[in-house]
């Protein structure tokens, strides 16, 4: 870099040129940093704008009556009672199916499956399904659950659909959790004479709980906000009644009346109100959206906290 000896003519100039070039390139570095931060700000500001707009527009509607009223043709009296109750019931069904099937499937793939073509097919399927648009799940549900199986346009159909939708999330999270358990723990358990299921149920699932729970909660946070598949199976958008209270009613069939009841969920209520021209309903939509976002954020936050808390207790 230094001027070669005997190169003579004005080494000072060469240095000045070099320094100028270096400074120009360094400026580009700084410029890019600025561009990078600005790009990030696009995302941050969008989120902020979203939040603030919802909060400001919707705040006046966030009264206790809002949570305990049914939707109504009069915007000022409309509430989200049927929506949040419907969401909770659907989430319950979703978890009921997605968690056991997802965890069991992941256990099979991690601990039992041999490396053959059949296992490959299962794994390809799972990663494929993660990329299928949610509305296609709605079509599957419409054709299969609603009509072929005859479950109708009900909470059961919705829950099953969402369970299938979030299954890849639960499976991947469980597999990660199992994979992170060091091999020497498995060996120690086997060396004590444990069978494979004993190793799984006494050690792997308990120790993998943080990761599994995190995956389940993230899946549920996704499911609670899904609209398209639920619309497709025909959740009605104006529901002014609640499904029958679960587990009341005449046994045996009456206990499960609620599963087959028409229903609505939070995202659909928001959709309904947003689509109306009357700005008063837009206010309702903003309030409901605010509640929904809070629920989603709370679940994501819970997942992160749980993962942190439970991870501390496991030492190997």
Partner 1 sequence: MSASTITLPKQPPPLKAESRGLDFYYGSFKALKSISMPVFENHVTALIGPSGCGKSTFLRCFNRMHDLYPGHRYVGEIGLMPDAVNVLAAEVDPIEVRMRISMVFQKPNPFPKSIFENVAYGLRVRNEKSRTYIEDKVEAALRGAALWDEVRDRLDEGGANLSGGQQQRLCIARALATDPEMILFDEPTSALDPIATGAIEELIGEIRKKVSVLIVTHNMQQAARVSDFVAYMYLGELIEYGETKEIFMKPKRRETEDYITGRFG
Partner 2 sequence: MPATLNPERGAGLAEPRLTGEARLAQLARDKVRRKRRERTIETVLLAAACVSVFTTLGIVYILLKESFVFFQEVPLWDFLTDTQWTPLFSDARFGIVVLLSGTLTSSAVALLVAIPLGTIIAIYLSEFAGHKTRETLKPVLELLSGVPTIIYGYFALLFVTPILQKLIPGLPGFNILSAGLVMGVMIIPYVSSLSEDAMRAVPMSLREGSYAMGATRFQTAVHVVVPAALSGIASAYILGISRAVGETMILAVAAGMQPQLSFNPLEPAATITSFIVQVALGDLPHGSIGYQTIFAAGLMLLLLTLVFNLLGYWIRRRYREAY
Nearer to partner 1, 169 or 204 (CB): 204
Note the Cα 281 to chain centre separation in Å.
27
Rounded CA-CA distance 284/75 in Å is 7
By CB under 8 A, is residue 190 in contact with partner 2?
no
Contacts of 216 (CB under 8 A, 6+ apart): 95, 98, 99, 102, 170, 173
Residue in the block written with tokens 């906290």: 305
Note the Cα 234 to chain centre separation in Å.
22
Q: Count the neighbouring beta carbons within 10 Å of the beta carbon of residue 228.
A: 15
Nearer to partner 1, 14 or 185 (CB): 185
Among 23, 25, 74, 115, binds partner 1 (CB under 8 A): 115
Rounded CA-CA distance 251/253 in Å is 5
**Residue whose C-alpha is closest to residue 68's, from 79, 55, 58:** 79
315 binds, among partner 2, partner 1, none (CB under 5 to 8 A by kind): partner 1
Nearer to partner 2, 107 or 213 (CB): 107
CB of 255 to partner 2, least distance (A): 25
Among 137, 151, 207, 260, binds partner 2 (CB under 8 A): 137
- Mask for 189-218, x = binds partner 1 (CB under 8 A): xxxxxxx--x---xx---x-----------
Among 83, 85, 91, 142, binds partner 2 (CB under 8 A): 142
Cβ pair 260, 155 in contact under 8 A: yes
CB of 315 to partner 1, least distance (A): 4
Nearer to partner 2, 111 or 257 (CB): 111
By CB under 8 A, is residue 175 in contact with partner 1?
no
Nearer to partner 2, 282 or 310 (CB): 282
State which of positions 25-54 bind partner 2 (CB under 8 A): 25-26, 28-29, 32-33, 35-37, 39-40, 42-44, 46-47, 49-50, 53-54
Nearer to partner 2, 68 or 128 (CB): 128
Determine the size of the site formed for partner 1 (CB under 8 A). Answer: 22
Helices (H), 108-251: 117-129, 134-140, 155-179, 183-191, 196-199, 205-224, 228-232
**Residue whose C-alpha is closest to residue 162's, from 90, 110, 106, 260:** 90
Give the residues lining the site for partner 1 (CB under 8 A): 114-115, 184-195, 198, 202-203, 207, 313-316
């Amino acid at each position: 870099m230094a001027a070669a000896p005997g190169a003579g003519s004005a080494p000072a100039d060469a240095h000045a040129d070099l320094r100028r070039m270096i400074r120009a390139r360094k400026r580009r570095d700084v410029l890019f940093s600025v561009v990078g931060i600005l790009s990030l700000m696009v995302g941050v500001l969008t989120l902020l704008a979203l939040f603030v707009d919802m909060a400001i527009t919707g705040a006046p509607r966030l009264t206790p009556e809002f949570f305990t009223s049914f939707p109504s043709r009069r915007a000022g009296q409309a509430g989200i009672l049927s929506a949040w109750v419907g969401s909770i019931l659907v989430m319950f069904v979703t978890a009921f199916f997605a968690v056991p099937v997802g965890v069991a499937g992941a256990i099979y793939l991690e601990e039992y499956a041999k490396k053959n073509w059949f296992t490959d097919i299962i794994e390809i399927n799972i990663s494929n399904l993660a990329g299928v648009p949610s509305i296609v799940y709605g079509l599957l549900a419409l054709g299969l659950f609603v009509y072929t199986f005859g479950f109708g346009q009900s909470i059961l159909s919705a829950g099953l659909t969402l369970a299938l939708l979030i299954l890849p999330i639960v499976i991947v999270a469980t597999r990660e959790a199992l994979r992170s358990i060091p091999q020497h723990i498995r060996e120690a358990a086997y060396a004590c004479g444990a069978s494979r299921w004993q190793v799984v149920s006494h050690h792997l699932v308990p120790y993998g709980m943080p990761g599994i729970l995190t995956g389940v909660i993230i899946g549920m946070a996704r499911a609670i906000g899904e609209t398209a598949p639920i619309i497709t199976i025909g959740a009605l958008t104006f529901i002014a009644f609640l499904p029958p209270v679960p587990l009341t009613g005449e046994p045996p069939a009456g206990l499960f009346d609620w599963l087959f009841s028409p229903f609505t969920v939070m995202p659909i209520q928001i959709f309904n109100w947003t689509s109306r021209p009357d700005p008063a309903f837009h206010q309702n939509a903003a309030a409901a959206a605010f509640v929904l976002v809070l629920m989603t954020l709370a679940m994501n936050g819970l997942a992160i906290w749980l993962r942190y808390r439970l991870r501390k207790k496991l030492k190997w």
